[in-house]
Amino acid sequence: MLFNSLVFAVFLAVVWPLWRLSPPAARRWVLLVASLVFYGWWDWRFLALLVGSAAVDFLCARAIPGARPARVKLLVATSVVTNLGVLGFFKYWGFATTELGRLAAAIGVDLPPSTLAIVLPVGLSFYTFQSMAYTIDVARGGQPARSFREVLLYVAFFPQLVAGPIERSGHLLPQLVRAADPGPGALRIGAELFVWGLFKKVVVADNLAPVVQRAFDQPDPGGLAVLVGAYAFTLQIYGDFSGYSDMARGVARWFGVELMVNFRQPLLATGPRDLWRRWHISLSQWLRDYLYVPLGGSRGGRGRTDRNLLITMLLGGLWHGASWTFVVWGGVHGLALVLAHHLPLRLPRPVAWVLTLHLTVGTFVIFRVHELGQLGSLLAALAAGLRPDAAAVAGLRLLLVMALLTGAWDLLLQRRGGDLLLQELPPWARWAVIGLLLVAVALLGGSYGQPFLYFQF
């Protein structure tokens, strides 16, 4: 069920009035059932994984208060191993068996190929991280939930279930338990966030998708097509993913829940560290708190700090998918963070912005290619010259228009901590902006019901 689909509009038109008219105790049941229906819409069989993950962490966390330190460690290990085991099997089995077969062939051993076909459950990477974080937080002194229903709702809350933000139990659980009425301001802000996110998804990201496909999915694309495609993919994935996050935050507001900001104008970052404070904030904070810090963080000297940064970013890259392209993408960002620690240059802000933008664009090329060998053919196309074929020129024009639209709206609407500023405008100006966005969605929106890019991760 996609936010940008008629099915979701009908789903929301049924669920929200039912939730609003229910007493607080029943609202949690309404949200829980709605969330399970929402997730089961893709494939009901995978509901067992979702419920099982929540059950393991509910049982582990419930046994933590008052337990001896050794038992607490065992319970946390049970949660982590279970969640990562499920994630590893469904997401990395094919990659692991393929690479093992290649390694065996290199040393002269012939292994039979794996015939096990595994479908990746949508949202698995997101909800396993959120679920096991609950157990870890309880072990660190957090308050355990009162019932399994609360934990399952925390894991399955449908606005952010399949692509984040990855929430913390201490932030999300109390809001879900409270089941408070959203005021008129929250309803208006939710609507504004949803429309702005929808604009970024269907107008910006979906219209740029063909430009990106010509560069990365077609043979002999030409140098200009590759160059335009690299910038277009950066803007596409930003519009697609941040658009989902904004829509998720908007829908959550209608249910009295405020989700964390997941993007803060990342394409305006002025350094590697600044980029990861702005891009996919919930994942970068999760990796910091549950991986980088337990590894030792910045304690123990510069060498260990560099090691911990590299391990964190390599695993963060691998989290995105079972491919060496994601590992290399994470490794390059890790090296950039290490260099930023060693070479704290004080560059003029415009220079730092240009360098960071092109680090982002260049690494997203690695992120987007089908295999590392494709990088050579793309570089060869660039070296052969920027021949101005009609499709590439049209793509460049579209890219410039979308960049101007996105940049203008971002600067006007989202310059304070990721939140929209429409509420500070007079009512007529707010309605004019929302009206313009809706007209753009209706007239310029791409193909109906296009999936979100991060659903595949």
Q: How far is CA 122 from the centre of its chain?
A: 12
Cβ neighbour number for residue 343 with a 10 Å cutoff: 7
Give the model confidence (pLDDT) of 100-144 as tens digits.
Answer: 777 777 777 766 665 566 777 888 999 999 999 999 999 999 889
Written as one letter, the residue type at 304 is R
157 backbone dihedrals φ, ψ, rounded to 5°:
-50, 115
Give the model confidence (pLDDT) of 32-71 as tens digits.
Answer: 999 999 999 988 889 999 999 999 999 999 999 989 999 9
191 and 155 both lie in a single domain: no
Where is pLDDT greater, at 421 or 124? 124
Q: Judge whether 297 lies within some domain.
A: yes
Give the model confidence (pLDDT) of 149-197 as tens digits.
Answer: 999 999 999 999 988 799 999 999 999 998 888 888 888 889 888 998 9
Judged against a pLDDT cut of 60, whether residue 418 lies above it is answered with no
Q: What is the 8-class DSSP label of residue 159?
A: G
50 and 88 both lie in a single domain: yes
189 and 143 both lie in a single domain: no
338 and 247 both lie in a single domain: yes
Residue ending a domain, among 136, 152, 180, is 180
Judged against a pLDDT cut of 60, whether residue 416 lies above it is answered with no
127 and 219 both lie in a single domain: no
Give the model confidence (pLDDT) of 292-344 as tens digits.
Answer: 999 998 887 888 999 999 999 999 999 998 889 999 999 999 999 999 888 87
Residue ending a domain, among 180, 196, 213, is 180
172 and 222 both lie in a single domain: no
Domain count, the chain: 2
Convert 130-146 to b/e letters by CB count within 10 Å (16 or more is b).
bbbbbbbbbbeebebbe
196 and 164 both lie in a single domain: no
Q: For residue 254, what pLDDT is reported?
A: 94
Written as one letter, the residue type at 322 is A
337 and 431 both lie in a single domain: yes
Q: For residue 451, what pLDDT is reported?
A: 82
Q: Judge whether 1 lies within some domain.
A: no
Q: Judge whether 419 lies within some domain.
A: yes
266 and 341 both lie in a single domain: yes
Give the model confidence (pLDDT) of 209-267 as tens digits.
Answer: 999 999 999 888 889 999 999 999 999 999 999 999 999 999 999 999 999 999 988 99
Q: For residue 99, what pLDDT is reported?
A: 67
Where is pLDDT greater, at 443 or 292? 292
402 and 344 both lie in a single domain: yes
Q: For residue 271, what pLDDT is reported?
A: 93
3-state DSSP assignment of residue 419: strand
| Contact (Cβ atoms closer than 8 angstroms) between residue 259 and residue 160 | yes
151 and 268 both lie in a single domain: no
Q: Which two tokens stand for residue 50?
A: 């979702």
Residue 290: is it exposed, middle or buried by C-beta count within 10 angstroms (0-12/13-18/19+)?
A: middle
Q: For residue 50, what pLDDT is reported?
A: 95
Confidence of residue 81 (pLDDT cuts 50, 70, 90): very high
Residue ending a domain, among 180, 199, 230, is 180
Containing structural domain, residue 170: 6-180
Which residues are bridge partners to 416 per DSSP? 419
Strand segments (E) across 261-301: none
Report pTM: 0.91
Q: Judge whether 265 lies within some domain.
A: yes
User: For this structure, is 280 an active site residue?
Assistant: no
| Contact (Cβ atoms closer than 8 angstroms) between residue 326 and residue 318 | yes
User: Across the chain, what does the average pLDDT equal?
Assistant: 89
Q: Distance between CA atoms of 203 and 209, rounded to whole angstroms?
A: 10
- Interhelix angle 223-254/373-383, rounded to 10 degrees, is 120
Active-site residue among 280, 320, 358, 370? 320
Q: Judge whether 174 lies within some domain.
A: yes
Of 198, 217, 227, 216, whose CA–CA distance to 395 is shortest? 227
210 and 172 both lie in a single domain: no
